[in-house]
Amino acid sequence: MCGIVGYIGNKQAYPILIKGLQRLEYRGGYDSAGIALINDNDNLNLYKSKGKVADLIHFAEKNDVSGTIGIAHTRWATHGEPNQVNAHPHYSQSEELVIIHNGIIENYAVLKKGLQKHGYTFQSETDTEVLVQLIEFVKKSNNISLSEAVQLALNEVVGAYAIAIIEKGNPNCIVAARKGSPLVIGIGENEYFLASDATPIIEHTNKVIYIDDEDIVTIERDKNLIIKTIANVEKTPEIKKLEMTISQLEKNGYPHFMLKEIFEQQDH
C-alpha cells in the first residue's frame, strides 16, 4: 500500500519523515520510496529509490537532507513499473513543485494530452506526474498561489487522491488534499504532521484532524490551518484526540499481528 508522511515545524524534517515511513511499513506491499525537503537556502531536494525505506536511507544520506519542511512516500505501483523514475515524489516540469500522491487519477490520459499541447513533457509513466504538471500549469497560467492552483486543478480531476505538495522558494507551506483516500494531520507545538494514517503521528502528538473528501488544506508554519472545500468554501477544522497507542494502530484493532495478517489475506 502507498503511504504519505509530511512535516513542517522547527525540527529537522528528515528523521521524522524517515521514521514515519518506517512506521507505515507495517502496511506492506510497496516497491519504492522517496523524500523531498526544502533546505535553509530554499533549495528543493528530492531523493527516491526502488526498494524499501532502507534503500532510500542508503541513497539519501549521502546527500543534503537538511530542512524543517518535507514530504515522503512509499509507493505501490499502479501506473508504470516499479523503478526510480516512477517512484514518488514527482517534480513538475520547472522542478518548482513536488508532489506525493495516493490513489488513481482516472482521466490522467486526457489531462496529459492537453498538457503536452502546451509544451509539457513527462519523465515517468505515472498519473501522479500528470497531476503535478496540471497544478503547475494552472498556477503559472493564472498567476495564483499554490493552494488556489491546487483547488482549480482538482476540479478537473476524476479519480481518487490524497496528495501533499511543496514548492521551491516557499519553505513555510504544505498544501494537501484528499478524495477517496485517507489523510490525517497532527497538530504539535508550533509544528504539523501529515500522514495517510495516524501511525506516524501518534508518537509526536495525539491531536489530529481527519481531512474530509474534497477538502484542501493549507498548512503554514506558525499559522492556523486553513481548510477549504474544492468549491472554495472555508471550513472550521475539527480537532480530535487520539486514545490509541502506536501498537494498537498498527494492528488495526486486532489483538495480534498474526490475526491482522490472516484477516487481511482473506480480504484479497
Q: What is the DSSP secondary-structure string of 193-217? A: EEESSSTTTTTT-SEEEEPPTTEEE
Q: What does the pLDDT read at residue 123?
A: 87
Q: What does the pLDDT read at residue 76?
A: 55
Q: What does the pLDDT read at residue 50?
A: 80
Q: What does the pLDDT read at residue 139?
A: 98
Q: Read off the pLDDT of each residue in 86-93 and give the average, rounded to a whole number.
A: 82
Q: Read off the pLDDT of each residue in 221-249 and give the average, rounded to a whole number.
A: 87
Q: What does the pLDDT read at residue 107?
A: 94
In this predicted structure, the answer to whether residue 133 has a pLDDT above a threshold of 90 is yes
Q: Read off the pLDDT of each residue in 76-101 and give the average, rounded to a whole number.
A: 74
Range(s) of the domain holding residue 78: 3-266
Residues 6+ apart with CB under 8 A from 113: none
How far apart CA 121 and CA 91 sit, in angstroms, is 12
Q: Read off the pLDDT of each residue in 212-217 and give the average, rounded to a whole number.
A: 97
pLDDT class of 177 with cuts at 50, 70, 90: very high
Helices 108-117/127-142 angle, 10° precision: 50
Number of domains in the chain: 1
Q: What does the pLDDT read at residue 20?
A: 92
With pLDDT > 70 as the criterion, what percentage of the chain qualifies? 83
CATH code of the domain covering residue 54: 3.60.20.10
185-196 per-position pLDDT tens digit: 999 999 999 999
Q: What does the pLDDT read at residue 102?
A: 87
- CB of 77 within 8 A of CB of 83? no
239-264 per-position pLDDT tens digit: 999 886 656 555 554 444 444 444 43
Q: Residue 186 corresponds to which cell in the numbers above?
A: 497532527
How far apart CA 124 and CA 220 sit, in angstroms, is 30
